Chains A and B, each alone.
Chain A
Amino acid sequence: ETGVTQSPTHLIKTRGQQVTLRCSSQSGHNTVSWYQQALGQGPQFIFQYYREEENGRGNFPPRFSGLQFPNYSSELNVNALELDDSALYLCASSLNVGYHYGYTFGSGTRLTVV
């Protein structure tokens, strides 16, 4: 059984550009959440997708958007990149939105905006 995989592992972008990060959820998991983790801080919730629909959103502007596909993989898109978007972006999947055993996290994508 594979875990959560994210790609790419590292990325450097220029301010103002757009970026797409990808996540393959653990087999059988239909719920995917995205988190942003700035250096030295805990992860911050961006949004969650359940069966291809957004199912909750944190305090992030609309230039952060996402998709979930029929196979439950997911993308995080960030437009008009700002320097403060530099962070580790984590994807987490869960067997179901209400599954109380929690989430399985990927190793993240390290985004650097210059």
Chain B
Amino acid sequence: DAKTTQPPSMDCAEGRAANLPCNHSTISGNEYVYWYRQIHSQGPQYIIHGLKNNETNEMASLIITEDRKSSTLILPHATLRDTAVYYCIVREDGQNFVFGPGTRLSVLP
């Protein structure tokens, strides 16, 4: 079973920041937090991952709380092309990815 809890759906206005929360209260010290997204009828796409520190790349920012029990994925300026299902996964090196149902993000014009 997935070790994360995410809201089933969220809306965001185009051009605004999208903040997607994830709870992972049972995360262990060796587990990374990963975010993937899946646009309709495509394979999941890697977005970002982190262990303890906040991370930023060209796609998004990942904010991990100090106790590591929750995290937030931030898309700074959401576009219509960001409409997708977003998956938050905790995983230790060498383990397979366990996907939950994710959050369906709808970016509205």
Contacts and interface: CB of A to CB of B under 8 A. Distances in A.
Interface of A: 4, 33, 35, 41-45, 48, 56, 58, 88, 90, 92, 97-108, 110
Interface residues of B, number: 23
B37 to A, nearest CB: 11
Given A42-B101, A42-B102, A43-B99, 18 more contacts: A33-B96, A35-B99, A42-B2, A42-B87, A42-B100, A45-B98, A48-B96, A56-B96, A58-B96, A92-B43, A92-B44, A98-B93, A100-B49, A100-B93, A103-B46, A105-B36, A105-B45, A107-B43
Contacts of B94: 97-98
A101 B49 contact: yes
Nearest to A57: B96
Contact of A106 (B43, B49, B96, B99): B43
Contacts of A90: 43-44
